[in-house]
Each structure stands twice: as structure tokens, then as C-alpha cells.
């Protein structure tokens, strides 16, 4: 286990010193406040530190992308958030945004340009896919002959997959980490079933029906024979974790974000 000393740089501090990082790391509401997803944020920051990535966070200046407000129908609140964030990004000269949340990724990439935004947006699975090609990662690979011995399946987030066509990046990362081949569920990639939390559904009561979506999805995970379901979205993580608990599979099955698996493999 490597000890990585993490000192998270804050954008305002760097700005005051006349410095400009390559990436703004957008932590997101889940990454900042949800106890489970805060662990993902910490592991991802360790990875950024380990690879000497030039980045900073907004700290207390970060609010919300406005994604859920728009999905739930509060267009005015969404536009207020978008305009406020864009102005803040311009002030700091932000050119690239890095985020672990596909919802924020989609909103920044596809919806903020309607309000004058002009920056590149990178999801953390895309970033990690580049990392596994990094020479430092390859050196680490030669030093670590014991890949993760996990039977893993990947649950495709809707806003990463169908909304933005990104299916390869997470699979490249997972394939680089494990000695076992990645297990694909019956429904995957463009045919993958939603976790049931998107579009504001996370924050409202279930609608009438025979079965909740997350139960249907976790049954597909169980049927795959995997003992790990990898996710790349805070919404999906909540639903998959709830599904594992609902099915009393906590001893046999785990849910990890891809960043956690990379940090685990690197021994961070």
C-alpha cells in the first residue's frame, strides 16, 4: 500500500498566485456530500496526485450544475445555475472540466454551450482510459504482477453511454485491471437498462408498476455471475448498492466505482 499525500489545490488560491491548472475537477453534489461517493472522490484525487495531474477544485465556490433542476422541470433554476457557473469558469479561465458524474458531464458538454460555454469536458472513465496507457501506469503494471482477481461486470450509465456514446473507455480500464475477462450482462452498452435514478427519479417516489427498475437491474447483475458490479456514476452507485442490500448479497457481491478499482490496483 503506497502512502499518497494529498493536498487538494483550490482554484481561487492558484488564481491568486497567477497559476492556471490544466483541469478544473468538478466534484459534484454527490462527490461532496454523499458518504459513499465521497470515498470515490478521495480515491480519484489520489490517482490525480499519483500521476501529477495539474488540477484544482472550486471548493466552497462550487454549487451545482443544475442537471436535476432541469430534469425535474425547473428550467429557470437550471438557467440561473448555468449562467452563474459559466461566469465563474470564465473568470478562472477554465478550458477543461473533469468530472466523475455523467449527469454533470452531459450537462456541461451538451447543454451549457447553448448559454455561451466554451470548454472541453472529460468524464473520469475517459481520463482513466488515457491513464492506463500512461508510461507510469505501464511501469506500475510490470511491478505489480498480481492484477485484481475479480469477476466484474459493468453497468453502463445512461448519460455516459446512450447520451454520449461512451462505451469503450470504462471497459478499457476494467480490462487493464483484472486477470478475469469482463463479464457483459444480457443488456449492456446501448441496450443497457437504466439504474432507475436518472431524470430526477432519485428524489421522488416510485411510480406504479410491478417492479422497481433497480431491482430488475440488480437481478441481471446477479444472473451474470459477477461478484463485482463496477459503476461510473453516483446515481448508479446508490441504486446498485441498494439492489445488493435488497437481495441480501452484501457478502458475495460488491459495488465499486471504476476510480476505486484503479486506486485499489495501484495500491493507493
Q: What is the pLDDT of residues 24-50, one digit of tens each?
A: 999 999 889 989 999 999 999 999 999
pLDDT band at 268 (very low <50, low <70, confident <90, very high): confident
Rounded Cα distance, 224 and 54, in Å: 39
Helix (H, G, I), strand (E, B) or coil at 26: strand
| pLDDT tens sequence across 106-130 | 999 999 999 999 999 999 999 999 9
Residue 141 has pLDDT above 70, yes or no: no
Question: Range with the lowest mean pLDDT among 66-80, 167-181, 197-211?
Answer: 197-211
CA gyration radius, the chain: 19
**147-266 has the same fold as 11-128:** yes
Rounded Cα distance, 68 and 223, in Å: 32
Rounded Cα distance, 265 and 263, in Å: 5
Residue 21 has pLDDT above 80, yes or no: yes
Pairing relationship of beta strands 23-26 and 96-99 according to DSSP bridges:
parallel
> Domain ranges in the chain?
11-128, 147-266
Helix axes 35-50, 258-266, angle to 10 degrees: 50
pLDDT band at 226 (very low <50, low <70, confident <90, very high): very high
| Fold for the domain defined by 11-128 | Rossmann fold (3.40.50)
* pTM (predicted TM-score): 0.93
Summarize the confidence of residues 13-33 as an average pLDDT.
Answer: 95
DSSP assignments along 87-126, one per residue:
HHHHHHT--EEEES-HHHHHIIIIIGGGGT---EEEEHHH
Residues with Cβ within 8 Å of 193's Cβ and at least 6 positions away in sequence, in order, are: 187, 213, 216, 217, 220
CATH 1.20.120 fits 147-266, yes or no: no
Give percent of the chain with pLDDT exceeding 90. 76
Summarize the confidence of residues 182-207 as an average pLDDT.
Answer: 83
C-alpha cell at 65: 450544475
Amino acid at each position: 500500500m503506497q502512502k499518497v499525500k494529498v493536498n487538494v489545490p483550490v482554484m481561487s488560491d492558484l488564481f491568486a498566485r497567477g497559476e492556471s491548472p490544466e483541469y478544473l475537477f468538478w466534484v459534484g453534489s454527490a462527490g461532496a456530500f454523499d458518504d459513499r461517493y465521497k470515498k470515490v472522490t478521495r480515491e480519484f484525487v489520489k490517482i490525480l496526485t499519483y500521476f501529477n495531474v495539474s488540477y484544482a477544485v472550486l471548493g466552497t465556490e462550487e454549487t451545482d450544475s443544475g442537471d436535476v433542476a432541469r430534469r425535474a422541470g425547473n428550467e429557470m433554476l437550471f438557467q440561473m445555475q448555468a449562467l452563474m457557473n459559466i461566469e465563474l469558469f470564465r473568470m478562472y479561465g477554465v478550458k477543461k472540466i473533469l468530472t466523475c458524474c455523467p449527469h454533470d458531464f452531459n450537462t456541461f458538454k451538451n447543454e451549457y454551450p447553448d448559454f455561451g460555454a466554451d470548454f472541453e469536458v472529460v468524464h473520469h472513465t475517459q481520463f482513466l482510459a488515457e491513464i492506463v496507457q500512461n508510461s507510469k501506469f505501464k511501469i506500475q503494471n510490470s511491478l505489480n504482477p498480481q492484477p485484481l482477481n475479480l469477476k466484474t461486470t459493468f453497468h453502463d450509465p445512461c448519460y455516459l453511454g446512450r447520451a454520449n456514446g461512451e462505451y469503450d473507455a470504462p471497459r478499457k480500464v476494467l480490462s487493464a485491471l483484472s486477470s478475469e475477462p469482463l463479464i457483459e450482462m444480457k443488456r449492456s452498452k446501448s441496450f443497457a437498462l437504466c439504474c432507475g435514478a436518472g431524470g430526477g427519479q432519485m428524489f421522488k417516489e416510485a411510480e406504479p408498476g410491478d417492479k422497481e427498475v433497480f431491482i430488475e437491474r440488480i437481478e441481471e447483475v446477479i444472473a451474470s455471475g459477477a461478484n463485482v458490479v463496477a459503476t461510473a456514476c453516483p446515481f448508479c452507485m446508490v441504486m446498485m448498492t441498494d439492489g445488493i442490500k435488497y437481495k441480501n448479497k452484501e457478502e458475495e457481491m460488491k459495488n465499486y466505482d471504476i476510480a476505486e478499482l484503479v486506486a485499489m490496483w495501484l495500491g493507493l
